[in-house]
Structure 1
Amino acid sequence: MKRVPTYSLYGVNSAEPLSDQLHFESIAARSRLHGWEIKPHRHERFLQILYIHAGGGEALLEGRREPLRSGSLVTMPPRHIHGFVFTPDTDGMVVTMTEPHLRTLLAGVPDALPLFEHPRHDRVRRGHALADALALFRGEMEAVSAWRGASLSALLTLVLIGIARLGNAEQPAAARRSSRPARHFRHFQQLLESDYRAQKEIGHYAGAIGITPTQLNRVCRQASGQSALQMIHARVLAEAQRDLLFSDLEIKHIALSLGFSDAAYFSRFFARLVGQAPTEFRQSGRARLPAFAVPPARDPAG
């Protein structure tokens, strides 16, 4: 059974840890070795930032195909599937950091951390403060100067704050406030991400947060427009869709891995929310994806 591969760096097995908290390289340095194609994968413990100075290509971000061009900035948190195809003239950089290092750099602005929980693709125009910070980071990255590590950390903090500001500007005003409901909502998101496969009851999450199920539903509706149960179902559904599109796992194995007692129950759940049976979704979804995203056919002889 083939799952979506999990890497620490492009094409590097996940058992090989980063030698440091931070790694950076040009896009060409690794992509050229793989024919300018990075097949779909995810990182279990690392956040990645990819910035294109020139050239372009195409990104696969959680099933969405998005064109890449000069100024494209992709922020990819842990555990989210992504892949890339670059044109051979692409000039850019990739920065990889551990989650603890991200928290260390943003220790002074903890409210910014939730803004790095979902993939982003931004276009950063020339002259923007974030573009200037990225250019300074690249210059320091390519230089060998005294106190280089301290300079890179300072510049990377500027880059992270710039990315957070982009995300913050897109948030509804209610979600931007550091209110108690907002903190409860972020706590629920964190708990849900850690154990969504178990499909625990709303009361479990409410108790862990220290509020009632009714309060949790109200918090979720205010912040996302969905009830707590809808958010639980949406998270389970998102993982099911990933496995259907990017792995060759059988339906029954996907169902069991997501806490369903049998494949029939999972299929009814999936069809009710998506309007297609899992097999139909897999076939139609792969037909719309770029060829590099589709798992190779299994060898009957192997």
Structure 2
Amino acid sequence: MVKHTNNIPHFGLYGESSWVDDPEFFHIEDIVSRSENLDWKINAHRHAQLFQVLILKAGGAMVQMDEKQQKLVGSWAIIVPAGVVHGFRFAPDTDGRVITIAEPMLEDIYREKAARFVKPLVSQPSYINFNGYQSTFSELWPLLSQLEKESEQTRKGRVLMSEYLIKAILLLLRRQQISSGILNTDITLQSQQTHELKELIEKHYKQHWSSEEYANALGTSVSRLNRLSKAMLNHSVHDLICDRLLLEAKRNLIYTARSVEEIAYDLGFKDPGYFSRFFKKASGVPPGRFRTLANQPTG
């Protein structure tokens, strides 16, 4: 049982303390590659800005998510949203894959038609049973294999292909979640409040809501909300707001031809000069310089 959640480590990937600051980041690996040398045990930890799904093909695991434990045998999918404490004790030689996805990639999906299918899947921890559903699992596994190939090779359209594959995997998981019956982990109040905070930031970041406004919307105090945010996501509320603004600014600079002034106004900045200072402080370079560097040809 987890009692002191503030002491639970945050990782990018398990055992790697650094966060990969890449809104298009994804990673896939087989369970054996990270677990075998650790005696098949992954201690309790959490990911601040990464969503994970584990697909078990064969073997088994004792899974801890927040304060709940569940024993799984055979073919399962395990859904682990960002901020949820989780740990595993795998049966030796368990065959499976772990997909790790940057939350901004999920936020992009939320704005698409896929949102009504994907959002219920990724918003809370759950287990999806594939035992007795071999035909469905046989559709899922080739998608994982193709995603592995995309992660291992540098090819044109790699990121786009990976996004399509990830969407297909998530949609198939949601179908199976509905078909087999949802086995939730009884999401904790902390996890629910964290999810609500992220949804509010996504809705209001361009309005530059203050930490106090988010706290009021959630019916709590600023100090309590900051404690929750730091414990679950390793960031203050203010940092989360700034990170979301910075991410959208970078996307606009890379993928649109709009001027810095236009981008500043679209993101709710009344003064383009203040936007430029905000961007340089957060990223290390002025927005114009960032655009130049980002659009330089590679290779």
| Range of TM-score over shorter length | 0.5 to 0.7
CA shift in 2, pair 1:61/1:97, >3 Å: same
Q: Does 1:27 align with 2:39?
A: no
Check conservation: 1:25, 1:94, Cα contact below 8 A: yes
Measure how far apart 1:5 and its partner are: 0.5
Count how many residue pairs are aligned between Structure 1 and Structure 2: 199
Structure 2 counterparts to residues 1-302 of structure 1, below 5 A:
3-17=7-21, 21-106=25-110, 107-112=112-117, 113-125=119-131, 127=133, 130-143=136-149, 150-166=160-176, 190-191=196-197, 204-205=216-217
Is 149-158 or 44-53 further displaced after alignment? Answer: 149-158
CA shift in 2, pair 1:64/1:150, >3 Å: same
Write the distance in 2 (CA, Å) between the matches of 1:149 and 1:129: 28
Write the distance in 2 (CA, Å) between the matches of 1:42 and 1:166: 26
Check conservation: 1:6, 1:14, Cα contact below 8 A: no
Write the distance in 2 (CA, Å) between the matches of 1:17 and 1:72: 30
Partner of 1:80: helix, strand, or coil? coil
Q: TM-score, normalized by length of structure 1?
A: 0.53
Partner of 1:121: helix, strand, or coil? strand
Write the distance in 2 (CA, Å) between the matches of 1:152 and 1:50: 17
Q: TM-score, normalized by length of structure 2?
A: 0.54
RMSD: 4.2
Measure how far apart 1:16 and its partner are: 4.6
Check conservation: 1:47, 1:78, Cα contact below 8 A: yes
CA shift in 2, pair 1:188/1:139, >3 Å: closer
Percent identical residues:
25
Write the distance in 2 (CA, Å) between the matches of 1:165 and 1:135: 15
Write the distance in 1 (CA, Å) between the matches of 2:141 and 2:59: 16
Check conservation: 1:105, 1:153, Cα contact below 8 A: no
Write the distance in 1 (CA, Å) between the matches of 2:42 and 2:71: 15
Check conservation: 1:74, 1:119, Cα contact below 8 A: yes
Write the distance in 2 (CA, Å) between the matches of 1:203 and 1:4: 24
Q: Deviations over 1:55-87 (max 9, x none)?
A: 112100111111122211101000000000111
Check conservation: 2:140, 2:172, Cα contact below 8 A: no
Measure how far apart 1:168 and its partner are: 5.9
**Unpaired segments of 5 or more residues in structure 2?**
183-191, 202-210, 232-299
Give 2:259's aligned residue: none
Check conservation: 2:54, 2:78, Cα contact below 8 A: yes
Measure how far apart 1:192 and its partner are: 8.3
Check conservation: 2:197, 2:214, Cα contact below 8 A: no
Measure how far apart 1:13 and its partner are: 0.5
Q: Which amino acid aligns with 1:102?
A: L
**Unpaired segments of 5 or more residues in structure 1?**
172-185, 209-228, 244-302
Is 85-94 or 123-132 further displaced after alignment? Answer: 123-132
CA shift in 2, pair 1:114/1:33, >3 Å: same
Q: Which amino acid aligns with 1:24?
A: I
